[in-house]
Structure 1
Amino acid sequence: MSFTLAKTERLAAILSQSPVIPVLTFEDAASGVETAKALRDGGLKVLEVTLRTPASMEALKAIIDEVEGVTVGAGTVLEPEHVQDAVRVGAAFLISPGVSSRLLAAGSEAPVPFMPGVATASEAMQLAERGATFAKFFPAGPAGGPDYLKALVAPLPDLHFVPTGGITLKNAQDYLAVRNVAAVGGSWVAPTDAIRNGDWAAIRALAKEASALKAR
């Protein structure tokens, strides 16, 4: 149950493509495809499709199959079965809000990069012991925000984070300015109402704003 150098390098390359990773939840595949196109056209080309709805796997597959120029991963990966299903449809990476022993085993053995979530220094240390270089920091706001991540730089200098949970355009740059933050995840770039109303222009504009942010 370790993180290989090859997959770590692949994840680093993915995260370097964008300062913001949209965290997306879809009720149907068609809206997933159109949302992905709008985000791509706005400059965000790394997408996380959460496995929170009955249509999520179908939406994930549709985006992978139909939208060119994006790198698409599965989020809210909670079970080994999620790992298997997401890999089968072509997910480029896997993200979990936390980690269990079963999920860690399945995720670290998957053929694509797996980024588990942490909320404490102890959880981060456990991942670092297994060779992890990246972790999701969730829920970022309640767990301590940018100041907490700054405090982890000294004891865990080789571990980098993708904070998610409570991230907005207003505070995203505060996180991105921290040395151990690789990117941020956020749902603000694709609001539920805009997806339901088919307001792709609004999503495209939000993506353009987000893509202009700068990671340290």
Structure 2
Amino acid sequence: MSLLDLTPVVPVVVIEDAGTAVPLARALVAGGLPVIEITLRTPAALEAVRRIAAEVPDAVVGAGTVRTADDVTAALGAGARFLVSPGTTPSLLAAMVSSGVPYLPGVATATEAMTLAEQGVREMKFFPAESAGGVSYLKALSGPLPDVRFCPTGGITPANAPSYLALANVGCVGGSWVTPAVLLAAGDYPRIEKLAAEAACLRTSP
């Protein structure tokens, strides 16, 4: 099954303390969001991926903000089961293709999406979604690129997520609202589980 079909919302998580990774992942899984993207933006990120991969078997943990081939190697070594990038370069795409795990290379324009489609990529991250044109832009892309599907990320909220999920070319959305920093810092995992449960119910039919 495609990564885009596993969940309506992929939590995009910034981990400052690797000690929060396992209880956070358990809360997200319990709330119905098993696919978790840990962004490689902090020193704790790879250790967080490693701990979740080892201790939360029901979680599908991946690495986001993957920018280089070295990032791909490090993420795979930590146990990442998928890769997400904010944009795409030839060397990064080659590393992602050869990784052996699902990947969502980032695009923001029709040209970028067409360039990847020419190379056989049919599933992509659309980023930054709201700034790059949002729902109306993705709807426009569905005509000339009917075989390409997206995971929009960037500016996605509980209010606008259903509009994205209603599009035929959107499989899921990525969002950080499910794991706000203030709740992580407070260790309020019951509240995070509740936010996850609410997000898991956001999918609508096209």
Same fold, judged at TM 0.5 (above):
yes
Q: Which has the higher helix share?
A: 1
Alignment of 1:19-38 (within 5 A): 19-38=8-27
Alignment of 1:166-205 (within 5 A): 166-205=155-194
User: Is 1:57 the counterpart of 2:40 in the alignment?
Assistant: no
Aligned partner (choices 101, 108, 112) of residue 119 of structure 1: 108
Aligned partners of 2:23 and 2:160: how far apart in 1? Answer: 27
AA aligned to 2:92 is L
* Deviations 1:52-87, CA, capped at 9 Å, x for gaps: 001100001001111121111110001111100111
**Structure 1 residue 17 displacement after superposition:** 1.7
Structure 1, unaligned stretches of length 5 or more? 1-9
**Structure 1 residue 15 displacement after superposition:** 2.3
Equivalent in the alignment of 1:128: 117
| TM-score (structure 2 length as normaliser) | 0.97
Aligned partners of 2:33 and 2:104: how far apart in 1? Answer: 19
Q: Is the 8 A contact 1:72 1:92 kept in 2?
A: yes
| TM-score (structure 1 length as normaliser) | 0.93
**Structure 1 residue 142 displacement after superposition:** 0.3
Moved more, 124-133 or 25-34: 25-34
Equivalent in the alignment of 1:156: 145
Please tell me the root mean square deviation across aligned C-alpha atoms, in Å: 0.9
* Deviations 1:178-215, CA, capped at 9 Å, x for gaps: 11001000000000000001011110110010001115
**Structure 1 residue 100 displacement after superposition:** 1.0
Task: Report the secondary structure of 1:97's partner residue.
Answer: coil
User: Is 1:104 the counterpart of 2:93 in the alignment?
Assistant: yes
Task: Report the secondary structure of 2:6's partner residue.
Answer: coil
Identity across the alignment (%): 53
**Structure 1 residue 115 displacement after superposition:** 1.2
AA aligned to 1:126 is T
Aligned positions, number: 205
